[in-house]
Amino acid sequence: MGSFRVELGADAHPVHVGAGLLERVGELARAAGLRPGGAALVTDANVARLYAARAHRALAAAGFDAITIEVAAGEASKSLATLEQVYDRLVAAALDRSSAVFALGGGVVGDLAGFAAATYLRGLAVVQIPTTMTAQVDSALGGKTGVNHRTAKNLIGAFHQPRLIVADVATLASLPEREFREGLAEVIKYGAIMDAPMVAALEAAMPAILSREPAALERIVDQSLRHKAAVVARDEREGGLRKILNFGHTIGHALEASSGYGSYFHGEAIAIGMVAAAGLSRAYAGLSADEANRLTRLIEAAGLPTRMPAGWRGADFERALKLDKKRTGEGLEFVLIDRLGHALTRKLGFDEIVAQVA
């Protein structure tokens, strides 16, 4: 098991990564200073079927008397309507300020339960127990919580740091192949922007990762979370450094938006975005052809796409790109790498970006 702390002053908290930790979640919560008593275990239908009973038992054994709140699986549950149902259950169970919320599931459950915890009674403790690759290497850590508005993703939200993160890599065994692989895009991202030896390690370990060997999974989840923790600790509210985590995301987001949400998984769009960002990095940041090719081959080895789809619509893409929140005038601040393991930002024009993708 790997354990470390996210250094966030008053919001500092432990992170545990390992196989089989679900059985220990109650004990780990007590060790993190959570008070036993009333609690809520929020999960989705798929995860409930597989893991809720085990989590519930582990919590009960440590004195947490948790109601289980099960929402439908899928992005549609990150809504104000579902949030209201969660509040209704918290109220009905008479949970108070000393109660804890345990978020067991992927990023949807983590964001929804985290936001419910952030807002109910102006804030309850939340424990993140991520069960997807995306959640274990990215969304569980950093304190961003929220729901979607009918008109835009993540429009309603709050920063609310968890009191504890427990990533049981054994739960990744049941993840569908496509969900598993898309999470690897964010893993590769951490290597590309922060850790050249990690890129080499991923190149060597990709077969073990794809066959989901627990030791290989523990290593990449632990490394990824440590990297995100280091960035978040230095820039909790996304003032500066945290922007480098958006490597591959400017083009990825525009691709997601212009291809209709759903045709690409987030990680797949980010994979294509990172390859395009590597091309731009060659042109504008001096990245070598050799390193750009290594990044592309690693993304391919993870079974992720590297190119825009046949028949993609440039005009739609450009329109989506221009709606990016980071827009300034005729361009935007773009994350590039000048070598594997080192990121920087540079203002690029929309024409330059579109020309690279085309």
Ligand X SMILES: NC(=O)c1ccc[n+]([C@@H]2O[C@H](COP(=O)([O-])OP(=O)(O)OC[C@H]3O[C@@H](n4cnc5c(N)ncnc54)[C@H](O)[C@@H]3O)[C@@H](O)[C@H]2O)c1
- Of 5-13, 74-82, 119-127, 209-217, the segment contacting ligand X by CB under 6 A is 74-82
Beta pairing, strands 125-130 & 144-149: unpaired
Residue (162 or 331) nearer to ligand X, CB: 162
Whether 144 sits among the annotated catalytic residues: the reply is yes
Residue (73 or 255) nearer to ligand X, CB: 73
Residue 214 to residues 72, 114, 176, 208, 221, Cα–Cα distance (Å): 28, 27, 16, 9, 10
Instruction: Give the integer Cα–Cα distance in Å for 181 and 237.
Output: 28
**Active-site option among 24, 243, 266, 282:** 266
Check binding of 142 to ligand X (CB under 6 A): yes
Q: Are 204 and 84 in contact (CB under 8 A)?
A: no
Binding mask 161-200 for ligand X (x = CB under 6 A): ----------x--xx---x---------------------
Check binding of 42 to ligand X (CB under 6 A): no
Whether 253 sits among the annotated catalytic residues: the reply is yes
- Name the residue among 26, 236, 231, 19 with its Cα closest to residue 127: 26
Beta pairing, strands 164-168 & 13-18: parallel
Whether 148 sits among the annotated catalytic residues: the reply is no
- Name the residue among 137, 140, 145, 131 with its Cα closest to residue 51: 131
**Active-site option among 13, 24, 189, 249:** 249
- Of 56-64, 80-88, 128-136, 240-248, the segment contacting ligand X by CB under 6 A is 128-136
Check binding of 98 to ligand X (CB under 6 A): no
Region of 267 on the Ramachandran plot (φ > 0 left; ψ -120 to 50 alpha; else beta): alpha
Measure the CA dihedral 117/119/122/128, to 10°: 20
**Active-site option among 181, 246, 256, 268:** 246
**Active-site option among 253, 256, 282, 294:** 253
Q: Which residue is nearest to ligand X (CB)?
A: 107
Minimum CB distance to ligand X, residue 108 (Å): 3
Q: Are 142 and 105 in contact (CB under 8 A)?
A: no
Q: Residues 75, 15, 270, CA angle at the centre, nearest 5°?
A: 40
Contacts with ligand X by CB under 6 A lie at: 44, 46-47, 50, 73-75, 78, 105-109, 111, 131-132, 134-135, 138-139, 142, 144, 154, 171, 174-175, 179
Q: Could you list the active site residues?
A: 122, 144, 186, 228, 238, 242, 246, 249, 253, 266
